[in-house]
Amino acid sequence: MPSYSEHEPWGLGGGGVASRDLAVGVISLSQTVVGILGNFLFLYQNVTIQLRGHRLKPLDFILRHLIFANILALLSKGPPQTVAAFGLRHFLGDPGCKLVFYVHRVAAGVSFSTTCLLSVLQAIMISPRNSTWTSLKGKAPKYAGFTLYLCWILHLLVNTFVFTYVSGKWSSTNTTKQKDVGYCSITRLDTITATLLAAFLSPPSTLSFGLMTLASGYMVFTLYRHHRQVRHIPRTNRSAGSPPETRAAQRILALVSTFLAFYMLCTIFVTYMLVFNHPSWWLINISSLMRSCFPTVSPFLLMSPDTCVSRLCSACCRRNNLVPNQVRKL
């Protein structure tokens, strides 16, 4: 296994932390803190709205699973990378490396599946009444919970391969067959094993990616057609603001677009890491930071003024005995 000393001017016994390692540590720590706070803030907002008497919708239930997966992904990637960047690379050991890699892969997979489910369900919900999706509008939300739990179970089972191929840097495994990926190492796979593993893992990701892309395209088409239809209606006859379904679709569309962009970038970096036997310092760290971007950004894309402010204003208006029409305008 290649020594990390070729990428850094310090070892276990002395020297300071290189400036670039310090920069990565600060970025990783900031990313983790902002992401955790954002996800908990969205979760708090979601739970508060339910406690105020609003009914929990299937989309809200899916979003809670997404937020939980985001938190797991950030906690399993950010702290280890931050500690390693600040100078302690061998702190996890073999069991710790296996655990954090396993948790991160499960969380990332559930995040992928949940985002796909969100886009498909929202595409069904905003479809016109005369479309072929009409019959699914009442059925699809009922199976959301079952689908989510099935996703968790499948990802928990599929990613058990991590326990075989990931190890700590102090592992007794033959180091000539190990690839250094920062604070842990992975086993170099021969061509046949790598091909079989890719064939086993690729179909679910490819299917989810395709469904997400099709659902997003359908939402864009539906929203564009709706915009063209209402453009000819006089403003006095239009309801104030966009319908809730449209606003929800726009937020989920932004979420899916962001996910697809980061997913494609991460795929490129991971492919390069698999191709090169000795991935560079930049490749390892940029890839790790990139994987935490979506869990960090997604709660802020989902939070919007109308989900919290308008409902809070409505509650305040009811206390002040304002009429319902005034509440809706708020």
DSSP state letter for 190: P
d(CA 154, CA 163): 16
Position 59: which residue type? L
User: Is domain 19-232+244-304 classified as CATH 1.10.274.10?
Assistant: no
Query: Residue 169: pLDDT band by 50, 70, 90 thresholds?
Result: low
Residues 6 or more apart in contact with residue 301 via CB below 8 angstroms: 251, 254, 255, 258
Highest mean pLDDT among 87-96, 172-181, 260-269, 302-311: 260-269
Q: pLDDT > 90: what percent of the chain?
A: 15
Name which of 262, 264, 260, 271 is nearest 291 in CA terms: 262
d(CA 141, CA 56) in angstroms, rounded, equals 12
Mean pLDDT of the chain: 75
pLDDT bucket at 317, cuts 50 / 70 / 90: very low
The H or E element that residue 142 is part of is none
Cα distances from 159 to residues 101, 267, 327, in angstroms, run 9, 17, 49
Over residues 175-196, the pLDDT tens digits come to 556 777 677 777 777 677 767 7
List, for residues 200-248, the tens digit of each pLDDT value: 777 778 888 888 888 888 888 877 776 666 665 655 544 445 555 666 6
Residue 66 pLDDT level (bands cut at 50, 70, 90): very high
Report how far apart, in Å, the C-alpha atoms of 8 and of each of 160, 189, 278 are. 32, 26, 14
Question: Predicted confidence band at 309 (pLDDT cuts at 50, 70, 90)?
Answer: very low
